[in-house]
Amino acid sequence: MDSLTHIALGACIGEAFAGKRLGKRAMLWGALAQTIPDIDFVASFWMDTPSSLLAHRGFTHSILFCAMITPVFAMVAERLHRPKNFKLSSLMLFFVVAIFSHILIDAFNSYGVGWFEPFNHYRISFNAVYVADPFFSFWPGIASVALIIVKESLPQRKKWWLTGLGMSALYLIVCLFIKFKIDAGLSDIVVKQQLEHKRYFTTPAPFQNLLWYVVVGNDSGYEVGFRSILDSKKQIDFQYFPRNDSLVKQMGNREEVQQLIRFSQQFFTIEKRGDTIVFNDLRFGQIHGWENPRGPFVFHYLLQYDLNSNLVVQRGRLQGWDHSTIKAYLKRIEGN
């Protein structure tokens, strides 16, 4: 999830576990602990693009890293607040929840999380929540603001942290239920439309959980489309994109290309635009593909023939969004 959401959730967790002992300082500890896995952003300052992509949500989002950093937080907090007679075991529990919940929540997005790094590079991804979902972020955001305003001595504080954490947890459950419905319906559609496939995935389109982006295919290519939970027709208007693995050979056995393939988890296509080969990572959807079914993919990488050239990543998640695009988006969410 986005950083602001993690901060808000961490503040609510801090209030829940340590608010009575530490006052509003508990919110600060919670926010800090909840965001510590995102320290991996510093890797982008010296790593190349593919390495940076793999480093993000890699080791610092692993079970090992969280297990290592949790006692550090607990011991530092215990020393700083020793007059409060806060047991180290209680602080350990607090930081276990605050830190480990970060890597759990991030696993709901399509980016993937390296829980088992550095021993296994497989990334966990539930593909159930968009990376920035205001419906998930709203309640912890409101609750954290309220907790900043409400005095430490007032009993209403418990109501607010319960609301922030409870409503966000409920939303995650609802998202998993909707995903189950989408996937179940997709199984019938794949059979009905006679689509050969080796793998597939579904993930929410931007900023909501009613319209889903769907990819079905194999090593030859992928069918890409959208399905709303409100659709009445049991079909998807797919667009086919060939994978074009042969174009990779033109790049030689370049490490950066292999890293991109690993990062995409095999959901990629390659196309040629003039003198440039473009690597498309399908997992992050198209630029308003509900309006333009043949639209470009959000995460695409320009692979130059020159071995000395740098890899260029193009990200256009909100590129070209205007009133008509938003109107078409809302209409597609309403179903067909």
Residue 71 is part of which domain span? Answer: 3-174
184 lies in some domain: no
Examine the domain organization and report whether 223 and 129 are in the same domain. Answer: no
What lies within 8 Å, CB to CB, of 85 at 6+ separation is: none
What does the pLDDT read at residue 229?
97
Residue 304: pLDDT band by 50, 70, 90 thresholds? low
Examine the domain organization and report whether 23 and 151 are in the same domain. Answer: yes
185 lies in some domain: no
Examine the domain organization and report whether 158 and 228 are in the same domain. Answer: no
Examine the domain organization and report whether 204 and 77 are in the same domain. Answer: no
Examine the domain organization and report whether 273 and 160 are in the same domain. Answer: no
What does the pLDDT read at residue 315?
62
Can you tell me the mean pLDDT for 118-146? 96
Examine the domain organization and report whether 116 and 10 are in the same domain. Answer: yes
Residue 224 Cα distances to 188, 231, 310, 315, angstroms: 16, 17, 29, 19
Residue 305 has pLDDT above 60, yes or no: no
Residue 306: pLDDT band by 50, 70, 90 thresholds? low
Examine the domain organization and report whether 125 and 233 are in the same domain. Answer: no
Residue 29: pLDDT band by 50, 70, 90 thresholds? very high
Domain finish residue from 143, 174, 205: 174
Domain finish residue from 141, 174, 207: 174
Residue 192: pLDDT band by 50, 70, 90 thresholds? very high
Examine the domain organization and report whether 167 and 279 are in the same domain. Answer: no
Residue 52 has pLDDT above 90, yes or no: no
153 lies in some domain: yes
Of all residues in the chain, the percent with pLDDT exceeding 90 is 72
What lies within 8 Å, CB to CB, of 317 at 6+ separation is: 206, 284, 287, 298
What three-state secondary structure class fits 110? coil
Examine the domain organization and report whether 103 and 8 are in the same domain. Answer: yes
69 lies in some domain: yes
Which DSSP category does 61 fall into?
A: G
181 lies in some domain: no
187 lies in some domain: no
Q: How many domains does the chain have?
A: 2
Strand partners, 223: 216, 240
Examine the domain organization and report whether 220 and 119 are in the same domain. Answer: no
What does the pLDDT read at residue 246?
84
Examine the domain organization and report whether 264 and 310 are in the same domain. Answer: yes
Angle 201-195-332 (CA atoms, 0-180°, nearest 5)? 60
Examine the domain organization and report whether 65 and 131 are in the same domain. Answer: yes
23 lies in some domain: yes
188 lies in some domain: no
Helix axes 156-192, 134-149, angle to 10 degrees: 180
pLDDT tens digit sequence for 55-92: 999 999 999 999 999 999 999 999 998 877 778 899 99
Strand partners, 269: 280
